[in-house]
């Protein structure tokens, strides 16, 4: 083929945008949140008001645990296109929930369900938000049952364990972490509240998500004014494991795996290391 034939050839703008959107969707499907955010933002640098790109950006931000950013992006989407969408509203509901805006999460989830009663994610986040509101436990249970019936793989019923069962699961999880992490937690008191305290979540900036599976207690050496020579030698005051968040799994093996992840991640945060790679920043679905 003559090389001169393709001189100056370029994709038309619409085709190029569709290809970039497809790339963002593929990244979202593989939970490559960081790359998805970068790809969406590059597209938006060229087309700042491109609604589908903004929608994908919001979902990627939520995957990265940037719930506040996701809420702002969804608000921008609504300003550009106020047409209600069940998918948008379900994602907005989860973003609001992760910023501890329980009432806002309920409102968005209910509107999503009104538009599409078969959207499992909306029922799920509605149940999560109602669980944390006083006197709404029956409604919460109904919503969570609906989510599980619509999508049992994504939204399983929590498994039930007594105190001894949790102790055994934690002991097994300890055997799956590195020796360094195991040594850090050895002798550290463990508490098993059902959920994280809302005031505790709101005392952090940005707010921590109510879906948090666990967190250390104490003043981390990584945050000390004076550098600590060996942060692994400093032990936390305690470890909180939030059983209702952790128990939304299919099996005991999956629970043990999640416990091991929490032990690893909280240990790394304690010593000031990044527990997530750039493409692995995520809040596990519960």
Secondary structure, 3-state, the chain: CCHHHHCCCCCCHHHHHHHHHHHHHHHHHCCCHHHHHHHHHHHHHHCCCCHHHHHHHHHHHHHCCCHHHHHHHHHHHHHHCCCCCHHHHHHHHHHHHHCCCHHHHHHHHHHHHHHCCCCHHHHHHHHHHHHCCCCCHHHHHHHHHHHHHHCCCCCCCCCCCCHHHHHHHHHHHHCCCCHHHHHHHCCCCEECCCCCCHHHHHCCCCCCCCCCCEEEECCCHHHCCCCCCCHHHCCCCEEEECHHHHCCCCCHHHHHHHHHHHHHHHHHHHHCCCCCCCCCCCCCCC
The arithmetic mean of pLDDT across residues 229-245, rounded, is 93
| pLDDT tens, residue by residue, 49-70 | 999 999 999 999 999 889 999 9
pLDDT-based confidence at 277, cuts 50/70/90? low
pLDDT confidence of residue 143: 98
Which residue, chain included where needed, has tokens 């879906």? 211
Q: How many CB atoms neighbour CB 103 within 10 A?
A: 10
| The two structure tokens encoding residue 153 | 């793989």
Q: Is the pLDDT of residue 88 over 80?
A: yes
pLDDT confidence of residue 194: 95
| pLDDT tens, residue by residue, 130-181 | 999 999 999 999 999 999 999 999 999 999 999 999 999 999 999 999 999 9
| pLDDT tens, residue by residue, 90-123 | 999 999 999 999 999 999 999 999 999 999 999 9
Q: Is the pLDDT of residue 276 over 60?
A: no
| pLDDT tens, residue by residue, 222-232 | 777 777 788 89
> Which stretch of 15-19, 74-78, 148-152 has the lowest confidence by average pLDDT?
15-19
Distance CA 90, CA 97 (A): 11
Q: Is the pLDDT of residue 283 over 50?
A: no
CA distances to 22, 28, 247 from 124, in Å: 27, 20, 15
- Average pLDDT of the residues of the chain: 90
Percent of the chain at pLDDT > 90 equals 79
pLDDT-based confidence at 8, cuts 50/70/90? low
190 has which bridge partners? 239
pLDDT-based confidence at 3, cuts 50/70/90? low
Residue ranges and CATH numbers for the domains of the chain are 13-150 (1.25.40.10), 163-271 (3.30.2010.20)
pLDDT confidence of residue 231: 85
Distance CA 70, CA 79 (A): 14
State the burial class of residue 145 (Cβ atoms within 10 Å of its Cβ: 0-12, 13-18, 19+): middle
Which residue, chain included where needed, has tokens 């104490």? 218
- CA atoms within a 13 Å half-sphere pointing along the CA-CB vector of 45: 7
């Amino acid at each position: 083929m003559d090389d001169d034939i393709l001189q100056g050839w370029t994709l038309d703008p619409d085709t190029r945008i569709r290809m970039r959107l497809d790339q963002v969707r593929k990244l979202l499907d593989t939970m490559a949140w960081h790359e998805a955010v970068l790809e969406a933002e590059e597209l938006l640098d060229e087309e700042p008001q491109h609604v589908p790109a903004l929608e994908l950006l919001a979902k990627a931000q939520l995957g990265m645990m940037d719930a506040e950013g996701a809420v702002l992006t969804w608000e921008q989407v609504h300003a550009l296109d106020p047409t209600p969408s069940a998918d948008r509203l379900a994602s907005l509901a989860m973003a609001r929930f992760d910023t501890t805006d329980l009432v806002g999460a309920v409102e968005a989830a209910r509107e999503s369900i009104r538009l599409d009663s078969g959207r499992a994610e909306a029922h799920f986040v509605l149940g999560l938000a109602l669980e944390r509101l006083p006197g709404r436990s029956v409604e919460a249970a109904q919503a969570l049952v609906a989510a599980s019936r619509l999508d049992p793989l994504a939204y399983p019923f929590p498994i039930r364990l007594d105190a001894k069962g949790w102790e055994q699961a934690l002991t097994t999880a300890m055997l799956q972490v590195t020796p360094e992490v195991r040594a850090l937690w050895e002798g550290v008191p463990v508490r098993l509240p059902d959920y994280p305290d809302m005031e505790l979540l709101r005392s952090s900036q940005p707010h921590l998500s109510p879906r948090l599976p666990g967190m250390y207690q104490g003043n981390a050496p990584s945050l000390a004014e004076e550098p600590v020579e060996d942060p692994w030698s400093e032990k936390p005051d305690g470890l909180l494991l939030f059983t209702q968040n952790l128990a939304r799994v299919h099996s005991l093996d999956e629970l043990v795996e999640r416990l091991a992840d929490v032990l690893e991640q909280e240990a790394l945060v304690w010593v000031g290391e990044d527990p997530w790679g750039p493409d692995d920043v995520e809040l596990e679905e519960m």
